[in-house]
């Protein structure tokens, strides 16, 4: 397996633990971990170095934002000039015809099928299934055990909640939220929060 350049994590949370364990399975360890919260001193035995400081990292560095909140990933990504890396758990089944953007993490047991396009800084979480020809825009989180049928489009920043399913051809709008366990059978507008089976709008997220 080809080794990537040094990877530095931004964020020392529970999500960061999962990212670290993917890296370990890829044969790597984090070169460093940064977190704005000074009370976070270590993560899984690796030292946490406080606020991000470019002076503390090597020139060959790449970054990954290990933070689950889609808005925060976008905010941090916009401030960084270093390249971002992609991490894919070895047990994930990713089509050779799929594309995955920088800063995206693909977790254990997930499936990404033929000609799927996944943008930057996304999370394809544990055991999620993203079927053929889906298009996933930047900063999206596909939670554990989500099933996206073929030709689903998920626009920027949307969060698909744990265990939700989306039938073929549906479009999920920008910064929308799909509740845990929802069954989505129609397009979801930008910023909408939908729950249930069939999924219905209960409110709208605020535009940040």
Active-site residues, by number, are 132
Joined tokens for residue 97: 């015809």
Stretch that binds ligand ACO, among 25-33, 41-49, 85-93, 194-202 (CB under 6 A): 194-202
Burial (0-12, 13-18, 19+ Cβ within 10 Å), 128: buried
> Are 121 and 139 a contacting pair, CB within 8 Å?
yes
Choosing from 106, 134, 161, 191, the residue that interacts with ligand ACO (CB under 6 A) is: 161
What track of x and - describes contact with ligand ACO for positions 103 through 132 (by CB under 6 A)? ----------------------x-------
- What is the SS3 assignment for 141? strand
What track of x and - describes contact with ligand ACO for positions 18 through 57 (by CB under 6 A)? ----------------------------------------
Residue with tokens 């930057």, as numbered in its chain: 120
**Residue 157 interacts with ligand ACO (CB under 6 A): yes or no:** no
Stretch that binds ligand ACO, among 5-13, 98-106, 130-138, 179-187 (CB under 6 A): 179-187
Joined tokens for residue 81: 């000039």
> Are 115 and 131 a contacting pair, CB within 8 Å?
no
HSE of 183, CA atoms in CB hemisphere, 13 A: 2
Residues facing residue 171 across a β-bridge: 153
> Residues interacting with ligand ACO, by CB under 6 A?
125, 143-144, 161-162, 177, 179-181, 193, 195-196, 202
């Amino acid at each position: 397996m080809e080794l990537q350049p040094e990877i530095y994590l931004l964020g020392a949370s529970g999500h960061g633990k999962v990212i670290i364990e993917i890296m370990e399975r890829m044969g790597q360890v984090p070169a460093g971990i940064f977190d704005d919260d000074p009370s976070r001193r270590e993560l899984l035995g690796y030292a946490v170095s406080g606020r991000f400081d470019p002076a503390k990292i090597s020139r060959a560095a790449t970054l990954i934002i290990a933070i689950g909140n889609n808005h925060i990933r976008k905010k941090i990504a916009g401030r960084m000039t270093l390249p971002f890396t992609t991490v894919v758990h070895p047990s994930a089944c990713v089509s050779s015809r799929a594309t995955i953007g920088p800063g995206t993490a693909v977790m254990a047991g997930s499936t990404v099928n033929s000609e799927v396009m996944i943008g930057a800084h996304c999370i394809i979480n544990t055991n999620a299934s993203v079927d053929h020809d889906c298009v996933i825009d930047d900063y999206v989180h596909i939670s554990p055990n989500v099933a996206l049928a073929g030709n689903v489009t998920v626009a920027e920043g949307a969060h698909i909640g744990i265990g939700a399913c989306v039938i073929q051809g549906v479009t999920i709008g920008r910064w929308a939220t799909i509740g845990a366990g929802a069954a989505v059978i129609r397009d979801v507008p930008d910023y909408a929060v939908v729950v249930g089976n069939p999924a219905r709008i209960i409110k709208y997220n605020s535009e940040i």
